[in-house]
Structure 1
Amino acid sequence: MPSLKSHDYVHGYSERESARLNDQANTLEELLHSDTKYSPGSAVLEAGCGIGAQTVILSKNSPKAKITSIDISEESLNLAKERAARDGVTNVEFRVENIFDLPFEDESFDHVFVCFVLEHLKEPVKALASLRRVLKKGGTITVIEGDHGSCFFHPETEDAVKAWNSLIEVQARLGGDSLIGRQVYPLLKKAGFSDIRVSPRMVYSDSSRPHMEEGFVRRTIIPMVEGVRESAIEMGIIDVETFDRGIEDLHRTAGEYGTFNYMFFKGVGRK
């Protein structure tokens, strides 16, 4: 049985990371979630809910669905419960569970939702197959992943690119794959799903879009890169000076003459 440990999460579990995840979810809510709504009474499994940043959006969009949100990290689930309570969420049950060893009976759920999870797993197809087992025949799975290889920005400096690529390399060495967005279709297909449809969701930022500059670049992207600073340096991927100069240059992409572009991929399949 594949193993999944809470400490495998490349970005860590700091308060700053929790804030980053919340900023990311809030900034991208319309782009990623506006077309995900589940009918009243539907049984929905959210796999890898983390601190509940996506959970509260799911609940808001489908207030009469019955949502079960699981995660391997009890610490993250406690934060998710606190956030859900603050937001008045009443249709979600939180449980500590392993995506590779689900305790649910076959065909327990009408829908499955997975967001920013597969990139952290060594065996994403096995995870999807495990989720397929608990999905009812004819039920749907929704998978959302980013792709760090889709990123480009201005000004593009050598140091900024090296800092960005250090994030990709750290995640790869930890067994994840931050280029997984482009693989959503083949992963779902290999796991046995049908009627698969994948739609790219592009984020573009410049100074005419201050909401994206602040919410996505300054408060989501840059903190995500900064979060691997210690690991990248310890692994010998990049030196301190280059990394820190790279972060300075990435901040310029959210300046008056900067731009930033990134692609997410949303896939929906059926059992």
Structure 2
Amino acid sequence: MREDYVHGYSEREAIRLVDQAETLSPLLHYDTSFPEGSLVLEAGCGVGAQTIHLARNSPQAEITSVDISKPSLTHAKALMGREGISNVQFQTADIMELPFADETFDHVFICFVLEHLPDPVGALKSLKRVLKSEGSITVIEGDHGSCYFHPETKEAINAWQCMIKAQKELNCNPLMGRELYPLLSEAGFKEVKIDPRVVYVDSSKGELVDGFIKKTIIAMVEGVKDQAIGSGLITPETWDKGIQDLHMTAEPSGTFFYNFFKGTAKK
């Protein structure tokens, strides 16, 4: 697993990830829960943004959350402490070389991670190895190609495309969501089911205007500014205009659409 991450490891990015998880929890996690006493592996937990919701939804499960980034794990541990969550243990680990015996866990959860890996099938096979027979895996990914917004200007589209191109330059897949079914099938999982989770925002949905458009989407795009301008993907002037225009989607006359994908399967 790689340690480079297109959005970086800044405190601002950590805040964005927690804001995103809180905003999207009703959409992505209303049906995420694990039975009492089950052993759950969260792969690529990052700063613990999703961990909070896993732990809250399954307070009697034993969750092991792993990540390759030690600073991220430090942040995650502190976050769990502030939230009073005690059913999670953290461990430094590479998804591609998990330090667990075969068939250790009842369930595996991985969210917004495969898109950043050059070998997602290899990662899924590694996770499958530590999953018990008939155990389940839950995978959540976005798809940056599913984004539509109004008003739509060429500068806003250019800024959005910069994020997609920046990920591709790192050999990542910003369109991962649409590929979950074939990837899980190729990795050998069975009973694969994919459920699209649509986010549509207009001015009547104030919490999503702030939490999704401003704190999740625009903040995510802004995170690749230096890389986009530095690599010549966009000029500073076009970038500034594009970000300004993306903010117009959060105005009363604006709208925003995005599609996440949640997949479940069994070993």
**TM-score of the superposed pair, with normalisation by structure 1:** 0.98
Q: Are 1:45 and 2:33 an aligned pair?
A: no
Q: Work out which of the residue numbers 241, 247, 261 in structure 2 matches 1:251.
A: 247
Within a 5 Å distance, the mapping from 1:174-253 to structure 2 comes to 174-253=170-249
Equivalent residue, structure 2, for 1:5:
2
Equivalent residue, structure 2, for 1:139:
135
Equivalent residue, structure 2, for 1:148:
144
Structure 1, unmatched stretches of 5+, are: none
Q: 1:100 Cα deviation (Å)? A: 0.3
**1:232-252 deviation digits (Å, cap 9, x = unpaired):** 111111111111100000000
Q: 1:5 Cα deviation (Å)? A: 2.9
Equivalent residue, structure 1, for 2:161:
165
Give the total of aligned pairs.
267
Q: Distance in 2 between matches of 1:20 and 1:198?
A: 26
Give the secondary structure class of the aligned counterpart of 2:146: strand
Give 2:2's aligned amino acid: K
Give 2:201's aligned amino acid: S
Q: Distance in 2 between matches of 1:37 and 1:140?
A: 12
Equivalent residue, structure 2, for 1:75:
71
Q: 1:218 Cα deviation (Å)? A: 0.5
**1:104-134 deviation digits (Å, cap 9, x = unpaired):** 0000000000000000000000000000000
Q: Distance in 2 between matches of 1:257 and 1:41?
A: 49
Q: Distance in 1 between matches of 2:69 and 2:257?
A: 31
**TM superposition outliers: structure 1 runs of 4+ over 6 Å:** none
**1:39-79 deviation digits (Å, cap 9, x = unpaired):** 00000000000000100100000000000000010000000
Q: Distance in 1 between matches of 2:30 and 2:67?
A: 23
Cα RMSD (Å): 0.5
Q: Work out which of the residue numbers 95, 107, 112 in structure 2 matches 1:116.
A: 112
Q: Distance in 1 between matches of 2:171 and 2:67?
A: 18
Equivalent residue, structure 2, for 1:28:
24
Equivalent residue, structure 1, for 2:15:
19
Within a 5 Å distance, the mapping from 1:87-102 to structure 2 comes to 87-102=83-98
Structure 2, unmatched stretches of 5+, are: none
Give the secondary structure class of the aligned counterpart of 1:149: helix
Q: Distance in 1 between matches of 2:264 and 2:236?
A: 41
Give the secondary structure class of the aligned counterpart of 2:239: helix
Q: Distance in 2 between matches of 1:173 and 1:123?
A: 15
Q: Distance in 2 between matches of 1:56 and 1:74?
A: 18
Equivalent residue, structure 2, for 1:260:
256
Q: Distance in 1 between matches of 2:266 and 2:216?
A: 31
Q: Distance in 2 between matches of 1:38 and 1:5?
A: 28
